[in-house]
Amino acid sequence: MNWYLGNYWYLLLLLLLPWLGIVLFNYVKWKNRKKNVFAEARFQNELFEKKSGFSKILPLLYLIATLFLILSIVDLLSGSEEVKSKQKMNNVIFLLDVSNSMNAQDVEPNRLDEAKNIMVQTMNKMRNDKVGIVVFAGEASSIMPLTTDFTAAETYIGGIETNVMKIQGTDFLNGMRTVADKFKNVAKGSRKVVLLSDGEDNEGNEKAAIKLANKEGISVISVGIGSEEGAPIPEYVFGQLMGYKTDVSGQTVISKRQIRALQNIANETSGTYVDGNNLDNATSQIIDGLRKTSTSSESIVKSNNAIHYYQYFLAVSIFFFLIIFLFNPKREFNI
């Protein structure tokens, strides 16, 4: 803890102590001199009241009381204080599928925008949590570290498009690896993932992703977006619709939501599966899932507010002045 003086200029008041000592010493000499002028030494015991033992230490008590009074004025401070608090919180990473199939428009306006809206609305209902964002397709990348700055998170979300990943496909394992790396400094009990995807598992790494999640203590709430009927996958060039994705035979590819992998990932990691086609219901279910698995975390907060100790010095000063008051009934330098 850092210590410093609040009103350090008042240390100059310490110069009063030797001056006070000199005053008391000269007062004693003056009083004795006056006694000698008034009467000879052999008559003084009869003429003057006999000095008490307390009177011999009275000057010292005055000096000590004044010293602590000055120290209370100077005001000793410490720079900060530590406050421990327990609160329920989660560290939540949104793992967002940005494969081209997320451009399908079987959910208005499209699957990706629905997922982004779910993320934003979920964060608006979160309390005390940290959030991060990882996007994945055939590869994965973290675009925002864990933070409590939800405003910044919304900005990042707004800029996400399917073209942010050069390698397309849907590889749950790569996404989970990136998530695990971002959780390396987070206690396992508070590692939560909200996986938003249409569930098309192109790489077949669902079981490997589950195994990694369990090993790293990650709980997954999976959100399936898209319809079972499916929709064609738009293809864009510089933001312009150029047509729809076709297979090798020239037939238009219909992308359908596949919930099996998403349900397995959620069930095997102590999470829950959520239907993401209804924005409000999906958001409420995600929040409920996070609250059920939230853990109590003790955090230490350092406050920059200075702690004052002048009251202790003032109490000592008052104590000595009180002794002087009680044991010196004549209220004088009876020396």
Domain assignments of the chain as residue spans, ordered by start: 3-80+304-327, 90-299
Q: Would the pLDDT of 1 be above 70?
A: no
Top-confidence residue, 50 or 145: 145
Band (6; pLDDT cuts 50, 70, 90):
low
pLDDT at 53 over 80: no
Which sign does the torsion angle of CA 37, 39, 41, 46 carry?
negative
Specify whether the CB–CB gap between 112 and 263 falls below 8 A. Answer: no
CB atoms within 10 A of CB 147: 14
pLDDT level of residue 68 (50, 70, 90 thresholds): confident
Ramachandran class of 128: left when φ > 0, alpha when ψ lies in -120 to 50, beta otherwise = left
Q: Which helix (H) or strand (E) holds 116?
A: helix 111-124
Strands 130-136 and 234-237: unpaired
- Rounded to whole angstroms, how far apart are CA atoms 184 and 335? 74
Strand ranges for the chain from DSSP E: 3-5, 76-78, 81-89, 91-97, 130-136, 140-147, 191-197, 218-224, 231-232, 234-237, 240-244, 254-255, 273-275, 295-303, 307-308
Measured CA to CA, the distance from residue 191 to residue 213 in angstroms comes to: 10
**How far is residue 158's CA from residue 323's CA, in Å, rounded to a whole number?**
73
Phi, psi torsion values for 142, nearest 5 degrees: -85, 125
pLDDT digits (tens, 9 = 90+) for 252-285: 999 999 999 999 999 999 999 999 999 999 999 9
| Tens digits of residue pLDDT in 198-248 | 998 777 889 999 999 999 999 999 999 999 999 999 988 877 888 899 988
Nearest to 204 by CA among 253, 264, 245, 246: 264
The answer on pLDDT for 335 being more than 60 is: no
Instruction: Specify the pLDDT at position 87.
Output: 57
Percent of the chain with pLDDT over 70: 80
Is it true that domain 90-299 has CATH number 3.20.20.70? Answer: no
The pLDDT score that the predictor gives to residue 40 is 61
- Would you place residue 61 in the very low, low, confident or very high pLDDT band (cuts 50, 70, 90)? confident
d(CA 99, CA 166): 10
CA distances from 156 to 15, 208, 299 (A): 62, 29, 27
